[in-house]
Amino acid sequence: DIQMTQSPSSLSASVGDRVTITCRASQDITNYLAWYQQKPGKVPKLLIYDASTLQSGVPSRFSGSGSGTDFTLTISSLQPEDVATYYCQKYNSAPPLFTFGPGTKVDI
């Protein structure tokens, strides 16, 4: 099974800071990588898919990069509403098999 790790597990930053979260897969997953945001008490929300494609409606301060085994989620200018836990997820097509990373909690 492919394992997903994330670093850091938590971080605290200031409004306006550039924030980078790393996700690593134990095997090559090409670009089958999504990022989700889960605010406290809320439903997870898709931010990025295919490693770098921004989901419709997601602010442009969010971006994703990487391929193979190493991926990053970047928030270019952290906003108060970005306080959340961020999860990476490995996926494939058919049959759909998924693995989530353990999450990175972002505070201000």
Q: Summarize as ranges the residues that interact with another protein (CB under 8 A).
A: 1, 32, 34, 36, 38, 43-46, 49-50, 55, 85, 87, 89, 91-103
Tell which residue, 104, 92, 105, has the closest CA to residue 34.
92
Relative to beta strand 4-7, strand 19-25 is antiparallel
Q: Residue 57, CB half-sphere, CA atoms under 13 Å: how many?
A: 2
Q: Closest distance between another protein and the C-beta of residue 14, in Å?
A: 26
In the bound state with another protein, the residue whose beta carbon lies nearer, of 33 and 78, is: 33
Residue with smaller CB distance to another protein, 16 or 41? 41
Q: Shortest Cβ distance from residue 105 to another protein (Å)? A: 10
CB of 14 or CB of 94, closer to another protein: 94
Pull the structure tokens for residue 100: 């989530």
